[in-house]
Structure 1
Amino acid sequence: MLLQADKKAQFEVEIELCIAGIACGEAKALEKLYRLTKSSVYGYSLSILRNRHDAEDVLQDTYVKVFTSSDSYHPGGKPLAWILTITRNLAADKFRAYKKLAYFDEDTAEALFTDTSLEDSEDKMLLEAAMNILDYDERQIVMLHAVSGFLHREIAEFLKIPLSTVLSKYNRSIKKLKNAMEGKYDGNNRE
C-alpha cells in the first residue's frame, strides 16, 4: 500500500515538473506530460461524452489549454486533478453544444479497450460494462477510480460532492457491474 502511495506521489511530481517545464517553454515537457496523462484524460473525456471522436477532440484541446495556461498552475497542488478539471470543463462545453448524449458505438469500445493502460482483462470488462449500463455520475466515479487511480476522497473533492455519495455510487456501480457480468442486470436495477 505504501509502495503504491509512493508511486502515485512520484507520478504527481513528474506531472508537476512537466507543467513547470511547459510554463518555461520546454518543448519536451508537453510531450512527456501527454505520455503520462493521455489515458486518464482520454478515458475521463470519453466517460463524459461517450463518443470516441469528441473525446479525441477534448484530449487535444486539453493539452492546448494546459500549454496556454501552464503558468497559472500553482505548484504543490494536485496536477492531475488540475488537468482533469480542464478536461471536464472542455467536455462539458462540447456536451452543452450538442445538448444530447452521444451514443456509445463499437469504435468507442474498441478505442477504449485497446488502450495500453488497460491491459488487465478484468479492467477492460469492468469499463466495457460501465460504459454500457452506468449513468453519467456512476460512470465518472468508476472511470476516475479505475482508470485514473483517484482515491474516493479525491474523487469527492474533484467532483465537489460528499465522500459518502461517492462511496455509495461507487458501491452501487460495482453491484450493477457484478450483476451485469452474472447476467442479472435488466436495465432497471437500482440496487
Structure 2
Amino acid sequence: MLLMAQTTKGTGKEDREALDRLLIEIAAGSREALAELYHRTRTAVYGITLSYVKNAHDAQDLTQDAFVRIWEKAPQYRPQGSPMAWILAVARNLALMALRQRERQADLSEEEWDAIPAEGPALSPEERELLQTALAALEEQERRIVVLHAVTGLKHREIAQLLELPLATVLSKYHRALKKLKVRLEGDDAR
C-alpha cells in the first residue's frame, strides 16, 4: 500500500541486530558505522523531527543534530529494546527542546511536505500529492502515529513508549487515522 515504506532491509530481527551492531561500532568510534546508520535511518529521523517542528529546514537541521547526538551518546546505548526506538527518542528529544526554545508551532506547508524524502515505494507525483493531502487532514498526533508506524516500521507498543502514551490510545488513534485516510483517499478517487 502507499504507506508501506521501509527504512532498512531484511527482517525485523535482522534490522535490530544490524542497528545494534552499528550503535556498538559507533560507540567504539567508527565513522563508517555512523554513515551506515545515517543511510538506514535518516528518513525515519527526519520524519519524526518534521512531525514535531513542522518546518522542513528545522527538521533537516535537527536530523543532522540527532546523528551528532547519537555519535556522542552511543556509548550510553544498551542493546535491550528497539535500537530504532532509541534513535527516534534522541531525535524526538531534540525536536522537543527546539520547540521549547522557540515556543511556537505552525502547520506544515505544501513545500515542507514535499521535503519528506521519497525513498519508500515508488509513488507518482500525483499519488504523493494525494497521500500528503490525506495525511495533512489528520490530527497532529494521528499523523505522527501513522508516520512512525508506516515509515519507521515501529510497533504500536514502541510508538506508545516513544510518544509516552498508553498503548490503547496509540491503537485507537492509529485505527481512527486509517479510517480517515481511507475515506479521504476513496473520496478523492471517486472524483
Smaller-chain TM-score bracket: 0.7 to 0.9
Are residues 61 and 128 of structure 1, via their aligned partners in 2, closer, same or farther at CA, if it must alter by over 3 Å? farther
Deviations 1:130-159 (A, max 9, x none): 1x1222211111111111111222222322
1:30 matched to which residue of 2? 34
Q: 1:156·1:166 contact (CA, 8 Å) conserved in 2?
A: yes
Answer with 115-124 or 10-19: which moved more.
115-124
What amino acid maps onto 1:129 in structure 2? Answer: A
2:173 matched to which residue of 1? 169
Q: Find the aligned partners of 2:17 and 2:127 in 1 and give their Cα distance.
A: 26
What amino acid maps onto 1:115 in structure 2? Answer: A
TM-score by structure 1 length? 0.84
Answer with 152-161 or 47-56: which moved more.
152-161
Trace 1:55-94 onto structure 2 (pairs within 5 A).
55-94=59-98
Provide structure 1 residue ranges, at least 5 long, that are not aligned to the other structure.
1-5, 185-191
Shift of 1:182: 3.6
Tell me the matched-pair count: 177
| Pairing 1:98–2:116 present | no
Identity of aligned residues (%): 41
Higher relative contact order (CA 8 A, sep 6+): 2
Are residues 174 and 95 of structure 1, via their aligned partners in 2, closer, same or farther at CA, if it must alter by over 3 Å? same
Q: Find the aligned partners of 1:144 and 1:164 in 2 and give their Cα distance.
A: 16
Q: 1:18·1:33 contact (CA, 8 Å) conserved in 2?
A: yes
| Pairing 1:179–2:158 present | no
Q: 1:123·1:146 contact (CA, 8 Å) conserved in 2?
A: no
Shift of 1:14: 1.0
Provide structure 2 residue ranges, at least 5 long, that are not aligned to the other structure.
1-9
2:14 aligned residue (10, 13, 16): 10
1:3 matched to which residue of 2? none
Shift of 1:107: 2.2
Shift of 1:177: 1.6
1:142 matched to which residue of 2? 146
| Pairing 1:116–2:133 present | no
Shift of 1:55: 0.6
1:129 aligned residue (117, 134, 138): 134
Q: 2:113·2:132 contact (CA, 8 Å) conserved in 1?
A: no
Q: Find the aligned partners of 1:147 and 1:56 in 2 and give their Cα distance.
A: 17
Secondary structure of the corresponding residue to residue 147 of structure 1: helix
2:3 matched to which residue of 1? none
Secondary structure of the corresponding residue to residue 115 of structure 2: helix
Are residues 100 and 118 of structure 1, via their aligned partners in 2, closer, same or farther at CA, if it must alter by over 3 Å? farther
